[in-house]
Amino acid sequence: MKKLLLIEEDPDVREMLAFALENNGFEVIKGQKSTSVDDVIKMKPNVVILDTATTQLCKDLKANDTTGMLPVLIYSATQNVNAIVNKCGADAVVAKPFELEDLVHLASRVAYKN
């Protein structure tokens, strides 16, 4: 079972996403916006899913020697989501609105690639 770190500030959205991911074989760790690189290192996830509100964490993870190869997936309602992804180095992106199945499929693809 792959371990996934999910960071979403809206509790309802976080629970919905966690439910869908858990039902598709992921062990979901629910992080907060304040989650740091050191926290991520201790959690040892196989993949991280972030909202664009936490792109700084994506940058920090990709710049760190220990977490630089950790797959990061970002989802966003921002119009220019590809620019954000390129700026922080995310491995994949899902644009809002999205189907839960699409997010689960992409998370599986990214997590099981490594």
In this prediction the pTM is: 0.90
What's the rounded mean pLDDT across residues 57-79?
Answer: 90
* pLDDT at 98 exceeding the cut of 80: yes
Specify which residues 5 forms β-bridges with.
29, 48
Instruction: Tell me the residue range of the domain where 88 lies.
Output: 2-113
Domain count, the chain: 1
Q: What is the mean pLDDT of the chain?
A: 89
Label residue 55 by pLDDT band (50, 70, 90): confident
∠ CA 30-74-3, rounded to 5°: 40
Structure token pair of residue 63: 């710049």
Of 28-37, 72-81, 87-96, 103-112, the one with minimum mean pLDDT is 72-81
Structure token pair of residue 74: 């970002």
Find the CATH number of the domain harbouring 96: 3.40.50.2300
